[in-house]
Amino acid sequence: MPFSDYKTALVTGASSGIGAAVVERLCAEGLQVHALARSADKLAELAERTGCIAHAIDVTDLAGLTALFQRQRFDILVNNAGVDRPGSLLKADAEGIDLLVDVNLRAVLHLARLALPGMVERDSGHIINISSIAAAYNFGGNATYHATKAAVSMLSKQLRVDAFGRRVRVTEICPGRVATDIFAHVHGDSEEVRQRFIEGFELPEAKDIANAIAFAIAAPVSMNVGHMEITPTLQVPGGLSTARPQDYQA
């Protein structure tokens, strides 16, 4: 579907990283792009650079989201906002679990609920959910994050069922490691964190994910790009661990 068939887009988590790159990419296509995030200062800079419309709203603010959808229709919704608190469920706290569920899942459900009826009524629209390879693969001690991303993966499939018979497309983007500042947000902005996650690796950049999203949007209306797993060429998920009981006995 040509970009010209769409007029408006909403991108969450838009103040930096993949979200900001998506805003830039969609603005370059001539869309009216609404950028939503908590950071008013970063959104103001993004708006000055791209011409997007900034909304300093937390994705957990249901009243704020509802009011926005009452004022504005969106042809494209990019659910990008997400948080992580790594660690085993054995050591998780209630606040961390609630935060991840609220941002990574509940907000996505509500945004889809607000966007989908209008798209179905207009027989046109596209929802892009940014999940993670964590939706499909297990890696060390991150149960709540895995659970929320797996739920978004299933939701992405279910949204197509809910909109069946209408030209509403749904794309799930599953990034592996990408060279963004998410690692600094999660682990702290330090040289050790950059060395551990970024420096020396050949990684996709935020603009590469934005270009993949643009590809899915620009595909013919008869074609739904349902799932894209995007990882570094030199990254593979998986692995198998086998424990000796005596190694874990107190």
Q: What is the mean pLDDT of residues 13-33?
A: 97
pLDDT digits 0-9 by tens, 60-75: 999 999 999 999 999 9
* Sheet containing 125-130: order of strands: 53-56, 32-37, 8-12, 76-79, 125-130, 168-175, 227-230
Pick left, alpha or beta for residue 123 (phi over 0 → left; psi -120 to 50 → alpha; otherwise beta). left
For the chain, give the number of residues.
Answer: 250
Instruction: Tell me the mean pLDDT in the region 137-157.
Output: 93
| Superfamily grouping for domain 3-230 | NAD(P)-binding Rossmann-like Domain (3.40.50.720)
Mean pLDDT for 136-141 is 84
Task: Please confirm, yes or no, whether 137 is among the known catalytic residues.
Answer: no
Nearest to 128 by CA among 221, 210, 31, 7: 210
Indicate the range of 2-6, 17-21, 228-232 predicted with least confidence. 2-6
pLDDT tens-digit series, residues 165-210: 999 999 999 999 998 776 655 655 667 766 766 778 789 999 999 9
Residue 89 identity: L
Average pLDDT, the chain: 92
Which burial class, exposed, middle or buried, applies to 30 when counting CB atoms under 10 A from its CB (0-12, 13-18, 19+)? exposed
Average pLDDT over residues 39-43: 96
Rounded CA-CA distance 129/150 in Å is 12
What mean pLDDT is predicted for residues 84-105?
A: 93
Using alpha carbons, select from 181, 43, 163 the residue that is nearest to residue 113.
Answer: 163
End-to-end CA distance of the chain: 60
Average pLDDT over residues 218-224: 95
Tell me what pLDDT residue 85 has.
Answer: 87
**pLDDT for residue 142:** 87
Considering the entire predicted model, what is its pTM?
Answer: 0.92
Nearest partner of 142 among 86, 98, 83, 182, judged by Cα:
86
Residue 184: predicted pLDDT: 53
Per the model's pLDDT, the better-predicted residue between 181 and 108 turns out to be: 108
User: Are 168 and 193 a contacting pair, CB within 8 Å?
Assistant: no
